[in-house]
Amino acid sequence: MKLQSKFCLVFLLMSVLIICLMATVMYFAVSMNFKEFVTKKELGELDNIVHALEEIYDRNHGWNSLINDHNAWHRMIQTAAPAKERNNGIKTTPPPRLHPAPPPHHPTNHEGRQLTPLMQHPPQPDFESERINLPMRLCLLNRNKQHIAGQFHGDRRYAFRDIVVNGEIAAILGLEIIEKRRHPFEIDFLAAQKKGFLMMGGGVFLLSALLSYLLARQMLSPITELLNGINAMKTLDFNFKLNTRSHDELGKLVEHFNAMALTLNKYETMRKQWISDISHELRTPLSALRAKIEAVQDGIRPMTPEMLESLHINVMQLAKLVEDLHYLSIHDSDNLTLQNDYPDILSITRDTINSFQEKMESSQIRCSLNIADDTVPVIAGNRNSLERLFFNIVENSIRYTNSPGYLEINVSTSKTHAIISFEDSAPGVPDHALELIFNRLFRVEKSRSRELGGSGLGLSICKQIVEKHQGEISASHSSHGGLKITVQLPLLKGTKHYIDISHRP
């Protein structure tokens, strides 16, 4: 059974239960109220008894005559009540017949056969014959509803009528409501009400069925959209977008699904581009190696030390590319665990500059290190990872900075972070490339980058290292006309490492 059918069935069952409950409550309420209405109407016809009680109260200035003489109450009712009420319940002897009674009549059917009592129509109830006599039902109470005369039962229902003498309520006349009897008016009225309840219930049921269908369809439309979206994702169609006007939890779910599909589409595009770029990056050094080796094999070029050096350079480029890819794959799989050894930022910076000293001299690039204050807090991080971070940034600056050039490294601190910036001279980076420079395999000028030996993964690895240390890295334009890389690393709380200013380079 579909979910929509289940919702419709649940709504219909709830509607049926509510209709049955309301009809039952209304039926019993109408029945009980109608009994009270009939009794009040009955009580309103007892004007003779009311006038008699008013005369008794006015003549005796109270009800002592009824309180002291119990038979006076019955005599008053027998005198004031109508004849049909007065003789009700009294067995009388019928007068003798002057003529013999006719033989009993036995009805027959169309074939002339006598009908049995079970085949005859049942007699209709006679309300007047079932009426209970007034002395058993009437009672007289004072204004506080305390018993004066008659029979009063506190656990039964009564209809009341005020006895007013000289503009004041002298007493209350009560008439017991008979619960078991059925007045002909009551039978006809309840039959009409029952018919009305059935017609109303049928109409409400049909309306509930229609509303249940529409409501279930409206509620489950986002789920249907989600199912279509999931089926589209099975075929790797991440461009599928769900449309819904719902603003409830299901509508929020559809919005999150669209956001997830957008993210998956983005990653799918990146994955395809990544595979294409990796294939191209691996093919370039391999093609160069193959061409050189085949040239030596065919005797076109001799195997000289220069040829060996060229092959070695190609192999090292390929090895670095594979190593960088391996590092990124480890980081993506969350298998890279950093051991905190609380390194000294200045020590790492100086070691990095010293390692590139010969390269910078040959490239005619001048480097300066500026320290903002005398104390630099210790970083909670891994020294090897931070050395690779600084190595990649300095290597990138030296590789792409024109000769003669300039590289400025600034080290400062804030209340919570150590800030290291690397600014080089021309050439600069276009504005649109500043946000893409940390993407994998991104190059501003691809042909020039390959000529200089860049793989396009160095700054991407830098970003991964900084994020692993809960820091931030950004790119902007340098004041010297080149690129500025800013690294912010969180400080180790409560610890400071003191720097000897005299040893600054």
CA distances, 300 to each of 285, 296, 351 (Å) = 20, 6, 44
- Domain carrying residue 435: 345-503
Same domain as 350, residue 313: no
449 with 303, same domain: the answer is: no
- Whether residues 293 and 364 fall in one domain: no
pTM: 0.50
CATH code, domain with 442: 3.30.565.10
Asked if 27 and 193 touch (Cβ cutoff 8 Å), the reply is yes
pLDDT at residue 499, as a whole number:
39
Please tell me the predicted confidence (pLDDT) of residue 90: 41
Instruction: Answer yes or no: do 325 and 350 share one domain.
Output: no
Percent of the chain with pLDDT over 90: 14
368 three-class SS? strand
Across 361-384, average pLDDT: 82
d(CA 186, CA 338): 91
- Is 177 contained in some domain? no
Cα separation, 38 vs 93, whole angstroms: 32
Number of domains in the chain: 2
The DSSP bridge pattern shows strands 417-425 and 375-379 to be: unpaired
Mean pLDDT of 81-107: 49
- Domain boundary residue, one of 273, 306, 332: 332
> Same structural domain for residues 368 and 478?
yes
Flag whether 233 is in a domain.
no
What pLDDT score was predicted for residue 40? 83
Provide the pLDDT confidence category of residue 453 given band limits of 50, 70 and 90: low
Angle in degrees, CA 271, 281, 353, rounded to 5: 105
Instruction: Kindly state whether residues 475 and 440 are assigned to the same domain.
Output: yes
Nearest CA to 379 out of 406, 411, 407, 409 is that of 411
Confidence of residue 249 (pLDDT cuts 50, 70, 90): confident
Furthest-apart CA atoms within the chain: distance in Å: 161
Question: Which one is predicted more confidently, 489 or 274?
Answer: 489
| Same domain for 427 and 387 | yes
Q: CA 383: distance to chain centroid? A: 47
Measured from the Cβ of residue 25, the count of other Cβ atoms closer than 10 Å reads 10
Domain boundary among the residues 332, 360, 385 is at: 332
pLDDT tens digits, 129-170: 444 567 788 999 988 888 888 888 888 889 999 999 888 898
299: number of Cβ within 10 Å: 7
Q: Do residues 291 and 419 both lie within one domain?
A: no
CATH number at residue 255: 1.10.287.130
What are the pLDDT digits (tens) for 36-65?
787 888 888 888 889 989 888 888 888 888
**Looking at the structure, do residues 321 and 356 belong to the same domain, yes or no?**
no
Domain boundary among 332, 361, 394: 332
